A and B are shown apart, each in its own frame.
Chain A
Amino acid sequence: MKHIKTLNTQTLQNTMKKGGCGECQTSCQSACKTSCTVGNQSCENNR
């Protein structure tokens, strides 16, 4: 594609099947103790 560059290959729809196992880190636990940020976490199953 000449006009568009897509940065990610996965889509969120694709994560519905195997998702929700709950093994990943709790979002407030790491560096910010006053805000919720999940977009920056990693899936424990992709490690």
Chain B
Amino acid sequence: MVHQYKNNGYHILLDVNSGSVHVVDELVYEMVPYYKEKELSEIIALLKDRYPKEEIREAAADLEELINAGKLYTEDIYENYIQEIVEAKKPVVKALCLHIAHDCNLACRYCFAEEGEYHGRRALMSYEVGKKALDFLIANSGSRKNLEVDFFGGEPLLNWQVVKDLVAYGREQEKLHQKNFRFTLTTNGVLLNDEVQEFVNREMSNVVLSIDGRKEVHDYMRPFRNGAGSYDRILPKFQKLADSRNQERYYVRGTFTRHNKDFSKDVLHLADLGFQQISVEPVVGTEEETYALRAEDLPEVFAEYDRLAAEMVRRYRTGKAFTFFHFMLDLTGGPCVAKRLSGCGSGTEYLAVTPWGDLYPCHQFVGDEKYRMGNVDEGITRPDIRDTFKNCNVYSKEKCRDCFAKFYCSGGCAANAHKFHGSIHETYDISCELERKRVECAIMIKAAEAEKDEVESDEEK
């Protein structure tokens, strides 16, 4: 399968099954759809009025070279391979999302956790429950060394002492068990202060700071419970924290909705404020919600992604680059194909833990009783749920098989699929369209970066 498209003046071929990305000229771009079916003489006959014959022969030779190197028109050879890997794998857990506080000091309109309460009552996780969760993780992690623990909410700073105590406990246990904990924190910033900042910088490998972008956008969606906006309260603290981490190992993270389809402005607003690690992603909501994105919004949203990508290229060229999470793409050191095909890991290697110690496939399933998989005392009591998630991958979903983005998206978000279709083996079309668009933009950016780097190394010569 070859996916070809034009973006920002680049002609791009993605050979899906080898993951090869080729930037080509117009001639090759035109030849690729029929190159395999037609004889060279036919191709020359078709194109000779517009291109010199010699050029066409050269282009054909270039295409042959790619085919022989296994970089064009490659087949999908991974289905059995991934099945074998999945079956051979002993189930291990390597990441937990700890719902340290089911409570929140903001009342964001799109909160899937319903102001932090997750269809339940307000609660804080006790140190005892948290300790058992870490013990559970260590005991179920097999030979995995790196274990991830995200302090999530609601708002985790509402239970800050427990966070600190659990980090201390983790640091003590990791030595005894030859593990390495990577702690992360997701916060709305309201309670952020110097003491929190100092601790976070010492202990947390990543911190996610929730801010939506422009003040009016942020304040509309992320008010305090009394209705007042939260932007002015959190922004200076986030800027200070980001700088204190050298603009590394953090993200400012926002959500865009139907109310700010021009979200490239929000991303650029954050960049102009000095943030260099930015993630702004589409809201997930059903049609009844006024803020939810609809199919009819897609052309506008696509155009925004294009605008953003083009602007990022401009900034890259002038030394003002910043990272946009969804356009990050590692073409050289990216993940192996097994990782790319096995999905997000929810329900298998990644689990969420409620304040009461119940286990769910991921944070988005918390509160849906059907998906309660066990608890930190007894461990997994519903291995059937785990098995359903384990067998959920690109090949278990009809729509993913033929999708050019399958090795970048890995079959999408099980929670979204469940929310919209009641099954984790489905895909949610709007998310898919957006994912494919982002992959196209991300690849274009790589093409532009490669061009700039080339020009520079020529100049050095």
Q: How large is the interface on B (under 10, 10 to 19, 20 to 34, 35 or more residues)?
A: 35 or more
Task: Name the B residues within 8 Å of A16 (CB-CB).
Answer: 78, 81, 336-338
Q: How large is the interface on A (under 10, 10 to 19, 20 to 34, 35 or more residues)?
A: 35 or more
What's the Cα separation between A10 and B336 when bound, in Å? 10
Task: Name the B residues within 8 Å of A38 (CB-CB).
Answer: 335, 339-340, 344, 407-410
User: Are A34 and B408 in contact, with the CB atoms below 8 A?
Assistant: no
> Per-position contact with B for A7-32: 1 when CB-CB < 8 Å, else 0?
11111110110111011111111111
> Per-position contact with A for B69-83: 1 when CB-CB < 8 Å, else 0?
011001001100100
Max chain B Cβ within 10 angstroms of own Cβ: one of A15, A29, A41, A47: A29
Max chain B Cβ within 10 angstroms of own Cβ: one of A2, A4, A10, A13: A4
Task: Name the A residues within 8 Å of B150 (CB-CB).
Answer: 29
User: Are A12 and B19 in contact, with the CB atoms below 8 A?
Assistant: yes
Q: How far is the CB of B155 from chain A (nearest CB, A)?
A: 14
Q: How far is the CB of B39 from chain A (nearest CB, A)?
A: 19
Which of B21-29, B158-166, B287-295 contacts the other chain?
Answer: B21-29
Of the candidates A3, A24, A26, the one whose C-beta lies within 8 Å of that of B350 is A26
Query: A15-B337, A31-B325, A46-B333 are contacts. A7–B25 as well, Cβ < 8 Å?
Result: no
User: Are A4 and B325 in contact, with the CB atoms below 8 A?
Assistant: no
What's the Cα separation between A38 and B411 when bound, in Å? 10
Of the candidates B17, B23, B338, B350, the one whose C-beta lies within 8 Å of that of A28 is B350
Of the candidates B89, B94, B282, B284, the one whose C-beta lies within 8 Å of that of A26 is B94
Which of B128-136, B140-148, B169-177, B225-233 contacts the other chain?
Answer: B140-148
Q: Is B345's beta carbon under 8 Å from chain A?
A: yes
Q: Count how many pairs of residues, one from A and one from B, have CB atoms less than 8 Å apart in the complex.
A: 216
Q: Is B66's beta carbon under 8 Å from chain A?
A: yes
User: Are B144 and A22 in contact, with the CB atoms below 8 A?
Assistant: yes
Task: Name the A residues within 8 Å of B431 (CB-CB).
Answer: 35
Task: Name the A residues within 8 Å of B95 (CB-CB).
Answer: 25-26, 29
User: Are A43 and B333 in contact, with the CB atoms below 8 A?
Assistant: yes
User: Are A43 and B336 in contact, with the CB atoms below 8 A?
Assistant: yes
What's the Cα separation between A14 and B240 when bound, in Å? 43
User: Are A40 and B442 in contact, with the CB atoms below 8 A?
Assistant: yes
Of the candidates A7, A20, A34, the one whose C-beta lies within 8 Å of that of B21 is A7
Of the candidates A5, A22, A29, A36, the one whose C-beta lies within 8 Å of that of B184 is A29
Closest residue of chain A to B253, judged by CB? A31
What's the Cα separation between A44 and B74 when bound, in Å? 26
User: Are B22 and A5 in contact, with the CB atoms below 8 A?
Assistant: yes
Of the candidates A4, A7, A28, the one whose C-beta lies within 8 Å of that of B345 is A28
User: Are B325 and A37 in contact, with the CB atoms below 8 A?
Assistant: yes
Task: Name the A residues within 8 Å of B157 (CB-CB).
Answer: none
Closest residue of chain B to A23, judged by CB? B146
Q: Is B401's beta carbon under 8 Å from chain A?
A: no
Which of B57-65, B193-201, B306-314, B370-378 contacts the other chain?
Answer: B57-65
Max chain B Cβ within 10 angstroms of own Cβ: one of A9, A12, A35: A12
What's the Cα separation between A40 and B92 when bound, in Å? 23
Task: Name the B residues within 8 Å of A41 (CB-CB).
Answer: 330, 334-335, 339
Closest residue of chain A to B338, judged by CB? A20
Query: A5-B22, A22-B92, A28-B350 are contacts. A36–B411 as well, Cβ < 8 Å?
Result: yes
> Per-position contact with A for B315-344: 1 when CB-CB < 8 Å, else 0?
000000000011111111111111110011
Query: A36-B413, A38-B409, A38-B410 are contacts. A27–B62 as well, Cβ < 8 Å?
Result: no
Task: Name the A residues within 8 Å of B412 (CB-CB).
Answer: 35-36
Q: Is B238's beta carbon under 8 Å from chain A?
A: no
User: Are A10 and B279 in contact, with the CB atoms below 8 A?
Assistant: no
Query: A32-B325, A36-B344, A42-B335 are contacts. A11–B363 as well, Cβ < 8 Å?
Result: no
User: Are A40 and B325 in contact, with the CB atoms below 8 A?
Assistant: yes
Q: How far is the CB of A42 from chain B (nearest CB, A)?
A: 5
Query: A5-B23, A31-B251, A32-B281 are contacts. A39–B330 as well, Cβ < 8 Å?
Result: yes
What's the Cα separation between A20 and B92 when bound, in Å? 13
What's the Cα separation between A15 and B187 when bound, in Å? 36
Closest residue of chain B to A40, judged by CB? B328
Q: How far is the CB of A46 from chain B (nearest CB, A)?
A: 4
User: Are A20 and B336 in contact, with the CB atoms below 8 A?
Assistant: yes
**Contacts beyond the supplied A4-B66, A38-B407: 18 A-B pairs with Cβ under 8 Å:** A3-B28, A6-B71, A7-B443, A11-B18, A12-B340, A15-B337, A19-B337, A20-B338, A25-B148, A28-B350, A29-B95, A33-B208, A34-B413, A37-B435, A38-B340, A38-B408, A39-B330, A41-B339
Show 8 residue pairs from A and B whose CB-CB distance is below 8 angstroms, ordered by the A residue.
A3-B24, A7-B22, A7-B23, A8-B21, A13-B74, A26-B350, A30-B325, A36-B409
The 6 closest A-B pairs by CB, nearest first: A19-B336, A39-B408, A20-B338, A40-B328, A46-B333, A15-B336
